[in-house]
C-alpha cells in the first residue's frame, strides 16, 4: 500500500527519494510524487508509476537536501494527478505525505471550508495538512507542535512526514497504525514505510511507535514525543536485512525468485528450532507462554489472504497432532463480530508483512478480551510482531512479489513446528511418531528442490490454459487449503477467475460449471481419501472437464485419468502442502507471464494492506 520516503542531510535528496520509491513499488500504488525544499516547497506528482514521475519531472529544478516522496494507493479519491501525494497546505508553505485513513476527515473538512479554506483534492490527507496549517496560524506554534495538536483531533490511521518552507532545517513525522521507520545515518536521516529504501545507506533504524511524533533535524539527535506530549527515548536497532535480498538476483521477476528460494526459506524457518538428536523442537517465543499454550482450551487463528490459508493448514496440524480445537477466522470478520474469548484461549495471528490493518485490529480486540496472542510474522519490527505477547518469526526473508509464495510455506513450516512442539508437551504424540515427522521435515527442503525441478511441464500446461476464463482447484484435508491458495495465486496475478473448493463439495454447486472449457486442478496426493478424490476426478471427466492433477511420485490411477499430471515427491500427509503448493505457484506465474500481466505488481493489489 502507500509508500513513504523522506530524506534530510547533506546529500542531494531527489535521487535518494526516487530510489526509495522504486524500492517500495512492490507495495502497490497508482500515483507518485515528491516534494523538495529549496527556499520554497516544490511538489511534483502524477498518476502512474515512479518512471512516469521521473519523466514528468524531467529538467525541473530538483536541487535540494530535504525532501519527501510518496507512492499512493487510492482510497479517498480516484488515482489522478491531483489526488497524488504530496499535498500542499492552503498557502503552499507546507507539504505532507500520508499513509492510512483519517476517518473523521469529512467533519474537519466541513469546518475548514466554513472558515474559508478551499480544497483541491478529494483526499483525507489534504484535510490534515490544512488543519496543521490552521493550527499554526491560530495558535502561533511551530510545525512540530501544530502536528502534535492536530493529531489529537484526528481519528484514524496515519504515517505522515511534513516539510515546511518556514522551518527548512527539519522534517516532522508521526505514526499511528501505519508503519514508519527512521534510518539514522551520520548527520542525516532517512524515512520510509519499511526498511527497504534505507538499508543501502544505514543499518541503524528507529521504528516509531503508535502516536509517536518525531522531530528530525540533520546533525542533531532525533527528538520523539507522544501526541500527548510525553518525551520518549528513541530506540535504535540494527537491521539484519541485506541489500541482495532486495534485488532480483538474475530472475525475471521477484515472484519467480521467491518461488525458487523456498528450499532455503523453509530451512531457515526451522533452523535452530528442530533438534533431531534430542528429538525435540525448541522455539524461544513459546517458552514464556509454554504453560498457557500447553493448557489452551482452544486456538483461534486470525489472518487474511494467503496467511489465512496457512492458518487453515495450521488448523489441521494442531487438531491432528496436539488435539486442540482450532478455529480459523478472517481477521476482517473477527474484528467486527463480538467473539467469545477467554483467558484460556490462544490467538495465533499470522502475517507476512506484520502490518495488515485487519489483523492488527483483530489482535487488539482479542487482547482486550484477555486472550494470549502469539504472532507468526515475517517482518521483524513490524506492528504485528510488536503487538503480540509472544511469537515466532518465519525467517523467509523479504518477500517483494505481491503474490505471497515463500512466506506461505514458511508460515506452514512454523505452524508445523508449533503443533509438533505442543503435541510433545501435551503427550498427544508418541516419541517414535514425533521423530518420524521431524526427520521428514528436516529433508523437506530437498524435496522442495526436487519439486521445483520436476515441475517443468507446468509451462506446457500454462500455454494450453492461458486463455481460459475460469479455473477450479479441488483438494481434501491438508490439500483443501492448498486448493484455496492455488486459486488465489492464479486470480491475483493472471486475473483469471479461479475458485478453490474441498473436492467433495464440488457436487453441491461448482459441478454446474464443468464443461469442456473448464480446467480443474486436483491435488490428489491424499492417502486416506485417495479413492474419494479419484471419484471426484471421474465426475469431472464425465462432464468433459480438463483435469490437471498433482500426484505423488509413482501414482498410476490418477495418471490414467488426468489430462496433465505433475508429480511431487512422497512425504508425510501433513507436509504435503509444503510440496503441492510449489507447482501451483509456478502454474499461476507462467500463466500470468504468458498473458502479459505485471506479475510482481498486479493491478489493484498492495503488498501490505494497511487500510481496512
Q: Both ends of the chain: CA-CA distance in Å?
A: 11
Please identify, among the stretches 136-144, 300-308, 505-513, 521-529, the one whose residues bind ligand M6R according to the rule CB under 6 A.
300-308
Residues in the chain: 612
**Nearer to ligand M6R (CB atom), residue 302 or residue 534:** 302
Q: Which residues between 377 and 416 bind ligand M6R (CB under 6 A)? A: 402-404
Place of cell 506530549: 229
Which residue, 27 or 267, is less far from ligand M6R as judged by CB? Answer: 27
The SS3 assignment for 48 reads coil
Handedness of CA 171, 163, 67, 40 (dihedral sign): negative
Nearer to ligand M6R, 313 or 402 (CB): 402
- Hey, is 83 helix, strand or coil? coil
Determine the interface stretch with ligand M6R among 88-96, 264-272, 336-344, 349-357 (rule: CB under 6 A).
349-357
Query: Cα separation of 525 and 565, whole Å?
Result: 12
**Smallest gap from residue 385 Cβ to ligand M6R (A):** 11
Q: Determine if 306 is a binding residue for ligand M6R (CB under 6 A).
A: yes
Least gap, CB of 526 to ligand M6R (angstroms) = 25
Separation between Cα atoms, residue 330 and residue 160, nearest integer Å: 29
For residue 138, what are the contacts with CB-CB under 8 A and spacing of at least 6? none
Beta strands in 78-121 (DSSP E): 87-88, 94-99
Helix (H, G, I), strand (E, B) or coil at 502: strand
- Choose the binding region for ligand M6R from 47-55, 302-310, 456-464, 532-540 (rule: CB under 6 A): 302-310
Query: Of 352 and 552, which CB lies nearer to ligand M6R in the complex structure?
Result: 352
* Total residues in contact with ligand M6R, by rule CB under 6 A: 17
In what order do the strands lie in the sheet containing 470-475? 497-502, 470-475, 519-523, 546-552, 564-568
Binds ligand M6R (CB under 6 A): choice among 28, 285, 305, 510? 305
Q: Smallest gap, in angstroms, from Cβ of residue 359 to ligand M6R? A: 5
CB of residue 407 to ligand M6R, shortest distance in Å? 6
Binding ligand M6R (rule: CB under 6 A), the pick from 304, 429, 514, 566 is 304
Query: Cα 132 to chain center, whole Å?
Result: 31
Residue 348 touches ligand M6R, criterion: CB under 6 A? no
The residues facing 436 across adjacent strands are none
Sign of the C-alpha dihedral computed for residues 445, 558, 481 and 287 taken in this order: negative
* Neighbouring residues of 231: CB distance < 8 A, sequence distance ≥ 6: 224, 225
Query: Which residues lie closer than 8 Å to 376 by C-beta, 6 or more apart?
Result: 310, 348, 349, 350, 351, 391, 392, 394, 411, 414, 415, 418
Bridge-partner residues for 237, per DSSP?
205
Query: Does residue 377 carry a catalytic annotation?
Result: no
- The 580-609 contact track toward ligand M6R, x by CB under 6 A, reads -------------------------x--xx
352 binds ligand M6R (CB under 6 A): yes
Among 202, 353, 424, 588, binds ligand M6R (CB under 6 A): 353
Choose, from 406, 447, 586, 607, the residue flagged as catalytic: 607
Our answer to whether residue 2 is catalytic in this structure is: yes
Please list every residue from 472 through 511 that binds ligand M6R, using CB under 6 A: 488, 492
Instruction: Return the number of the residue (127 or 402) whose C-beta is nearest ligand M6R.
Output: 402
Q: Which is nearer to ligand M6R, 146 or 493 (CB)?
A: 493
Q: How far apart are CA 141 and CA 104, in angstroms?
A: 23
Nearest to 482 by CA among 437, 525, 533: 525
Does residue 356 bind ligand M6R (CB under 6 A)? Answer: yes
- Shortest spacing between CB 257 and ligand M6R, in angstroms: 15
Residue 178 engages ligand M6R in binding (rule: CB under 6 A): no
Helix 431-454 × helix 406-426 angle, to 10° = 170
Residue bearing cell 507546507: 94
Which of 2, 304, 377, 597 is catalytic? The answer is 2
Instruction: Pick the binder of ligand M6R from 265, 359, 383, 451 (CB under 6 A).
Output: 359
* CB-closest chain residue to ligand M6R: 305
Whether the CB-CB separation of 82 and 33 falls below 8 Å is answered with no
Residues making contact with ligand M6R (CB under 6 A): 304-307, 351-353, 356, 359, 402-404, 488, 492, 605, 608-609
Give the residue numbers marked as catalytic.
2, 607
Amino acid at each position: 500500500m502507500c509508500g513513504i520516503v523522506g530524506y534530510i542531510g547533506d546529500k542531494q535528496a531527489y535521487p535518494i527519494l526516487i530510489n526509495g520509491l522504486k524500492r517500495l513499488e512492490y507495495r502497490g500504488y497508482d500515483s507518485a510524487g515528491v516534494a523538495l525544499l529549496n527556499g520554497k516547497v516544490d511538489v511534483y506528482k502524477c498518476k502512474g508509476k515512479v518512471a512516469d514521475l521521473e519523466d514528468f519531472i524531467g529538467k525541473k529544478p530538483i536541487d535540494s537536501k530535504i525532501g519527501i516522496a510518496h507512492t499512493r494507493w487510492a482510497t479517498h479519491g480516484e488515482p489522478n494527478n491531483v489526488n497524488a501525494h504530496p499535498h500542499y497546505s492552503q498557502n503552499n508553505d507546507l507539504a505532507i505525505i500520508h499513509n492510512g485513513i483519517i476517518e473523521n476527515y469529512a467533519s474537519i473538512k466541513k469546518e475548514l471550508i466554513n472558515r474559508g479554506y478551499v480544497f483541491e483534492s478529494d483526499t483525507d490527507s489534504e484535510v490534515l495538512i490544512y488543519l496543521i496549517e490552521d493550527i499554526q496560524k491560530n495558535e502561533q506554534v511551530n510545525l512540530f507542535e501544530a502536528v502534535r495538536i492536530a493529531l489529537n483531533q484526528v481519528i484514524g490511521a496515519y504515517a505522515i512526514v511534513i516539510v515546511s518552507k518556514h522551518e527548512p532545517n527539519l522534517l516532522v513525522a508521526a505514526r499511528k497504525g501505519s508503519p514508519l521507520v527512521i534510518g539514522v545515518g551520520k548527520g542525516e536521516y532517512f524515512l520510509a514505510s519499511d526498511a527497504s529504501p534505507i538499508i543501502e545507506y544505514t543499518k541503524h533504524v528507529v521504528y516509531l511507535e503508535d502516536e509517536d511524533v518525531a522531530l528530525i533535524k540533520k546533525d542533531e539527535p532525533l527528538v520523539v514525543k507522544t501526541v500527548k506530549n510525553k518525551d520518549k527515548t528513541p530506540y535504535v536497532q540494527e537491521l539484519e536485512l541485506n541489500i541482495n535480498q532486495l534485488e532480483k538476483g538474475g530472475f525475471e521477476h521477484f515472484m519467480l525468485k521467491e518461488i525458487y528460494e523456498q528450499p532455503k526459506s523453509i530451512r531457515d524457518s526451522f533452523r535452530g528450532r528442530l533438534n533431531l538428536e534430542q528429538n525435540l523442537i525448541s522455539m524461544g517465543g513459546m517458552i514464556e507462554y509454554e504453560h498457557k499454550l500447553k493448557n489452551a482450551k482452544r486456538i483461534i487463528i486470525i489472518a487474511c489472504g494467503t496467511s489465512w490459508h496457512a492458518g487453515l493448514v495450521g488448523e489441521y496440524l494442531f487438531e491432528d497432532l496436539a488435539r486442540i480445537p482450532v478455529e480459523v477466522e478472517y481477521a476482517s470478520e473477527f474484528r467486527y463480530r463480538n467473539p467469545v474469548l477467554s483467558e484460556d484461549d490462544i490467538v495465533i495471528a499470522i502475517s507476512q508483512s506484520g502490518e495488515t490493518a485487519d489483523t492488527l485490529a483483530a489482535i487488539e480486540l482479542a487482547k482486550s478480551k484477555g486472550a494470549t496472542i502469539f504472532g507468526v510474522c515475517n517482518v521483524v519490527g513490524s506492528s504485528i510482531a510488536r503487538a503480540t505477547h509472544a511469537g515466532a518469526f518465519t525467517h523467509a526473508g523479504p518477500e517483494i512479489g505481491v503474490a505471497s509464495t515463500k512466506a506461505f510455506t514458511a508460515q506452514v513450516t512454523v505452524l508445523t513446528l508449533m503443533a509438533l512442539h505442543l503435541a510433545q508437551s501435551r503427550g498427544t504424540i508418541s516419541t517414535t511418531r514425533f521423530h518420524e515427522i521431524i526427520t521428514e521435515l528436516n529433508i523437506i527442503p530437498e524435496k522442495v528442490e526436487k519439486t521445483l525441478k520436476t515441475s517443468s511441464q507446468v509451462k506446457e500446461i500454462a500455454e494450453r490454459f492461458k486463455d481460459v476464463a475460469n479455473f477450479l482447484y479441488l483438494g481434501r484435508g491438508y490439500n483443501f487449503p492448498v486448493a484455496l491458495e492455488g486459486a488465489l495465486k492464479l486470480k491475483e496475478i493472471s486475473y483469471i477467475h479461479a475458485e478453490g473448493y474441498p473436492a467433495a463439495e464440488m457436487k453441491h454447486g461448482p459441478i454446474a460449471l464443468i464443461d469442456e472449457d473448464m480446467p480443474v486442478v486436483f491435488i490428489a496426493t491424499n492417502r486416506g481419501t485417495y479413492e474419494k478424490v479419484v471419484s471426484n476426478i471421474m465426475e469431472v471427466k464425465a462432464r468433459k472437464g480438463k483435469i490437471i492433477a498433482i500426484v505423488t511420485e509413482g501414482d498410476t490411477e490418477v495418471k490414467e485419468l488426468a489430462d496433465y499430471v505433475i508429480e511431487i515427491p512422497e512425504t508425510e500427509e501433513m507436509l504435503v502442502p509444503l510440496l503441492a503448493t510449489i507447482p501451483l505457484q509456478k502454474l499461476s506465474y507462467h500463466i500470468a507471464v504468458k498473458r502479459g500481466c505485471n506479475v510482481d505488481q498486479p493491478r489493484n493489489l498492495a503488498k501490505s494492506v494497511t487500510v481496512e
